[in-house]
Amino acid sequence: MAETQNPDRVVLTNMTSLEELALPYRPEELARAVTIAYARNAPLGFSHQVMQFQLRENEKLDFTFYVDQESGAPVSDDATKILDAMTASSRTAHNIASGAPPEVQLLWPGVLLMRTRITSLKYSYKRFSSFNGKPTWFSVTVALEETPQKRMWAEDIRTKGLFRL
């Protein structure tokens, strides 16, 4: 089956303001990191350490997307402003807990749906307009960490995979 010309877009949604950023197209790669933490106990007289399960750390994801303003790809001029705003607290915060940057819902149709927080953004600007000096081609590497809302069980992960909120 051939890939469609206009695949569903990856959408990042600010869960506080509900502002959305639809990426111009699907990123070519997605990196996932799942880390399991164990306490390593060393009982006297044992020939080895005993591994005691502590927790499954929050899943970490990262991907890079490219913006080519000259290709006519439908990218908002505000894309970097929207992303940057997802990394800062809101002026309307009333306490320390609500003063954190917003949670971000990551929807990658057919691949994943989860609540995350942006942990880093890395911009790389490669080409600039000779007319006004603005970037015409750049990439953004987005690093996210899942923020589970409830305890995850092996059976749920087996059933739902990466579609969890």
Instruction: Give the pLDDT confidence of 34-87 residue by residue, as tens digits.
Output: 999 999 999 999 999 999 999 999 999 999 988 877 666 556 567 888 999 999
Q: What is the DSSP annotation of 16-78?
A: TT--EEE-SS--S--EEE--EEEEEE--TT-SSPEEEEEEEPPPEEEEEEEEEGGGT----TT
Output the pLDDT for position 77.
66
Please give the domain boundaries of the chain with CATH numbers for all domains.
11-160 (2.40.30.200)
pTM: 0.83
Length of the chain: 165
